[in-house]
Structure 1
Amino acid sequence: MINKKIFIGGCDRSGTTLLASMLASSPRIATTPESQFKLNLLKLSNRRLPESETKKVLSRLFNDFRFKIWLEKPDFLETFKYKIKPGLSSKEILEEMVSSYCGEEPYCWIDHTPNNIQNVSFLKNVFPESSFIHIVRDGRAVAASVKPLPWGPNTTYHAATWWAYRVSFGCAAELAWPDKVYRVSYESLVNNPEDTLLSLCENLDIQYDSRMLSGSGFKLPSYTKKQHCHVGKSVKSTQVNLWKKRLSDRDIEIFEAKVGGLLSSFGYELLHDKRQLPKISERVKIHANELFYALINFARHRIRLRKLP
């Protein structure tokens, strides 16, 4: 049985992966690839499954493309199949999956699936002993990061709503379970990693290790390696404000016009005193761009899927 479980989530995928890789640089702490599939697995039931149901569960699991990302780890699937016996619950199947991936049962498992923060209530009921970390990052930086990617919004206008929707889940979880959900600022993690990690480890009741500063505790799957190119490297503080160069002045104004109050509540400085939402002509162009990128992203996603095991 894994003693500690820490679920990291938030709207910034780079931040969740970076923090997981930092914490997992310490011995007996391990992280695994994103596991969106675990929600469907855990919702089945917590009762022990007979052989027929176990086979159905595994069949659905093996056909999930997110699970296939895990298959890059040598010998993982063979070890996992060997451990799965009739009579296990869905929760136990997940734990066997984690220990198979890690090569041994870690003292602490860290799951950095972004939508964890949207499912705190459910995960807390399944794993009452677990802790949660809510990664918060300047929404304008998140918009600049996510726009070129084949998932998520591809315009700043829609990225503002997307960011606000997701951080609201984290804020609600912090209020509901203040002794279980801890907020970490991406900017603090990059600008002041040692103090941030020391404070976080104290809250999580895990031992701080100076090796965490290297951020090399997780080998990225090829599926996500390109978008997390800074993980395992020294992240420079100058990268925190790159969004100011990547977004146009009008994009920044639109983002601040939509969710400026929320940005300010997190302590982020607004660049525009006067902020105007898109005019009708701008909105038509924005929605046309989203439709265009939706088609392009569908094709890009299909191409990436073909590269999976």
Structure 2
Amino acid sequence: MQVKGRIFIGGTGRSGTTILSKILGKHNNIYRFPCETRFIIDPDGIIDLVPALSDKWSPYIGSKAVCRFKKMMYNLGETEIMAVKLRRKVMSEVLNRSPKKYLHFPLGDIIGKKQYFKELNNFLDKLIDVEFKGLWVGTDSYLKNPKIFSTKKFAREEIINLSAEFINNLFTIPLKKQNKSFWVDHTPFNILHATFLNELFPDMKIIHIYRDIRDVISSYKTKNWGGNDAQDIILWQKQILQRWLEVKTNLSENSYYEIKLEELIDNPKKNLKDIFRFIGIPFDEKVLQIGLNKGHIGRWKKDLIKEEIDLVKKELFDIMKKYDYNW
């Protein structure tokens, strides 16, 4: 089956990426990955592998990048039984330690472990000339039987094409199972790396979904990955949004689309028709089956204290004005 379309959804986090992906996934020709795929743009992923094997290549940089990428893909590919997951979760909370990497991102299960590791190993074989027991001064401390990967040095275009082929081969597997020809990934920071995604897939479409940043900050306060207080979160959000404003200047207008969550909730049919027109695929009434909740719109009014609201205004006033949010 030929992949006809690649759709990336992105945002600041807590801005509606998941719900929008669920809506698009209701379309009869779009496959939605149940979890964020992560391995393309996360540290140690494809985004780090490409420069390490091309313009930044050295024997050690190449070896380290392949080793880290392989570990990442194994973390995403191997899953644990529920009892082990629960035990690890409890222990991490009791001991105040981070959990196992990518614990809730079972990409191997989604693709199918046998095919997942077959495609991964085929890809790695194209990158590695030979691996052997050995170490250098920068080898991770106290490894048992350390290895060095002797990697090829590629022209950037060549490793980009190999990486895109690997992703396509991997993602085509669930598409074939469901007889669909478009896929959608909703890793939030896709927007920050949209130019890289465009380099991988020149025909890709990226959708930035955003919402009132004050509501985003309210939501972040319930999480443990965006800052310990409102000031941390505000500065985190400011950097993300400023970076996106830079990134999109390097994209063609037909490759990205921006949608306000509040407008999607107020008029889903109209806005979804616009989104599908942008993607280049007929509208499907089934996408309206996903309910959109207005309950969290304006939550900042009760969640943020005056000092926090003043800080948002100080740091993010210009960005909020650009996206048509008023005070």
Asked if these proteins are the same fold (TM beyond 0.5), I'd say: yes
Residue 304 of structure 2 corresponds to 247
Amino acid aligned to 2:193: N
Matched, 1:170 2:244: yes
Report the Cα offset of residue 66 of structure 1. 3.1
**CA–CA distance in 2 between the matches of 1:242 and 1:121?**
33
Residue 293 of structure 2 corresponds to 236
Report the Cα offset of residue 62 of structure 1. 0.7
8 Å CA contact 1:160, 1:255 repeated in 2: yes
Match of 1:38 among 33, 37, 40: 40
Structure 1 residues 95, 118: closer, same or farther in 2, change over 3 A?
A: same
Residue 195 of structure 2 corresponds to 121
Structure 1 residues 138, 187: closer, same or farther in 2, change over 3 A?
A: same
Residue 153 of structure 1 corresponds to 227
Match of 1:214 among 285, 289, 292: 289
Residue 288 of structure 1 corresponds to none
Structure 1 residues 81, 68: closer, same or farther in 2, change over 3 A?
A: farther
8 Å CA contact 2:163, 2:200 repeated in 1: no
SS of the residue corresponding to residue 273 of structure 2 reads helix
Equivalent residue pairs, number:
247
8 Å CA contact 1:2, 1:105 repeated in 2: no
8 Å CA contact 1:131, 1:180 repeated in 2: yes
**CA–CA distance in 1 between the matches of 2:293 and 2:314?**
29
Residue 163 of structure 2 corresponds to 90
Decide which moves more: 21-30 or 260-269: 260-269
Structure 1 residues 187, 206: closer, same or farther in 2, change over 3 A?
A: same
Hey, which bits of structure 1, 4+ residues long, moved more than 6 A? none
Residue 259 of structure 2 corresponds to 184
Structure 1 residues 85, 61: closer, same or farther in 2, change over 3 A?
A: closer
Matched, 1:109 2:183: yes
8 Å CA contact 1:73, 1:101 repeated in 2: no
Structure index of larger Rg: 2
**CA–CA distance in 2 between the matches of 1:209 and 1:70?**
29
1:155-196: per-residue Cα shift (whole Å, max 9, x none)? 222222222221223333333322211111111122221111
**CA–CA distance in 2 between the matches of 1:28 and 1:59?**
33
TM-score by length of 2: 0.67
Residue 79 of structure 1 corresponds to 115
SS of the residue corresponding to residue 22 of structure 1 reads helix
1:134-173: per-residue Cα shift (whole Å, max 9, x none)? 1121111110011110211232222222222212233333
SS of the residue corresponding to residue 35 of structure 1 reads coil
**CA–CA distance in 1 between the matches of 2:259 and 2:111?**
35
**CA–CA distance in 1 between the matches of 2:205 and 2:225?**
28
SS of the residue corresponding to residue 194 of structure 1 reads helix
Match of 1:196 among 271, 291, 295: 271
SS of the residue corresponding to residue 184 of structure 1 reads strand
SS of the residue corresponding to residue 292 of structure 2 reads coil
**CA–CA distance in 2 between the matches of 1:42 and 1:114?**
15
Match of 1:132 among 206, 218, 225: 206
8 Å CA contact 2:226, 2:232 repeated in 1: no
**CA–CA distance in 2 between the matches of 1:156 and 1:124?**
33
Residue 205 of structure 1 corresponds to 280
Identity %: 24
Residue 25 of structure 1 corresponds to 26
8 Å CA contact 1:190, 1:240 repeated in 2: no
**CA–CA distance in 2 between the matches of 1:12 and 1:74?**
23
Gaps of 5+ in 1: 216-233, 271-309
**CA–CA distance in 1 between the matches of 2:248 and 2:219?**
25
Residue 13 of structure 2 corresponds to 12
Amino acid aligned to 1:262: I
**CA–CA distance in 2 between the matches of 1:255 and 1:85?**
47
**CA–CA distance in 1 between the matches of 2:235 and 2:180?**
38
